[in-house]
Amino acid sequence: MKQRLVFLGPPGAGKGTQAELIAQKKDLLHLSTGDLLRAEVTAGTDLGNKAAAIMNKGELVSDSLVLSIVEQRLNDSAKGWILDGFPRNVAQAELLQILLSEIDQNIEAVVLIDLKDELLVERLISRGRADDNEIVIRHRLEVYREKTTPLVDHYMSQGLLKTVQGDGDIKAISNRIDEVLS
């Protein structure tokens, strides 16, 4: 059976790393909207140019713009998938639900990787990405709390949420994810 998973968690929790590992292990398509947006920025496309300033401020780009980069890929995917960084708010979760029902697909589980703010900031500062300076980091955490955390209840009420702790090393976290998904 094709696994279709959503990875949820604050910036710095290790979502991207873990999504990549699990995707390789289970042969799933790893769709990171952050990576896809950064690729558009680097390529200098219209979409990338629209997104760049917003991303550098730590704000969310528009729902329609993100949906446009996810839609076709989900549609085309012959494999299962992991969505990483999408949905990022309730409106996106609802748009995703509509899209999935149109293409007759379902989310099987939502993995929440959780970690304390102090550790998140520490990890993000050491990562050194363009949007990883301390002011932008704090803002991204606020945006996460305000816009993305409502998805925890949203998916919990659907019985899909599996929470793992994001402390410790990469292997320890990935073992925890394997456990909740088995």
By CB under 6 A, residue 154 contacts ligand AMP: no
Closer residue to ligand AMP, CB minimum distance, 66 or 78: 66
Calpha distance 112→85 (Å, rounded)? 11
Residue type, 62: S
DSSP H helices in the chain:
15-26, 33-43, 46-57, 63-76, 90-102, 117-127, 134-143, 150-157, 170-181
Burial of 181 (0-12, 13-18, 19+ CB in 10 A): middle
Residue among 128 and 182 whose Cβ is closer to ligand AMP: 128
Which of 2, 50, 54, 133 contacts ligand AMP by CB under 6 A?
A: 54
Would you give the end-to-end CA distance of the chain in angstroms? 13
Using rule CB under 6 A, residue 81 touches ligand AMP: no
- Which range of residues in 21-29, 31-39, 72-80, 152-160 is near ligand AMP by CB under 6 A? 31-39
Min CB(182)–ligand AMP separation in Å: 26
Q: Which stretch binds ligand AMP (CB under 6 A): 33-41, 99-107, 154-162, 165-173?
A: 33-41
Residue 122: CB atoms within 10 Å: 13
Does 88 interact with ligand AMP (rule: CB under 6 A)?
A: yes
Question: Which residues neighbour 150 within 8 Å (Cβ) at sequence distance 6 or greater?
Answer: 89, 90
Comparison of 15 and 78: residue with beta carbon closer to ligand AMP:
15
Which positions lie near ligand AMP, rule CB under 6 A?
11, 33-34, 37, 54-55, 58-61, 66, 85-86, 88, 92, 140
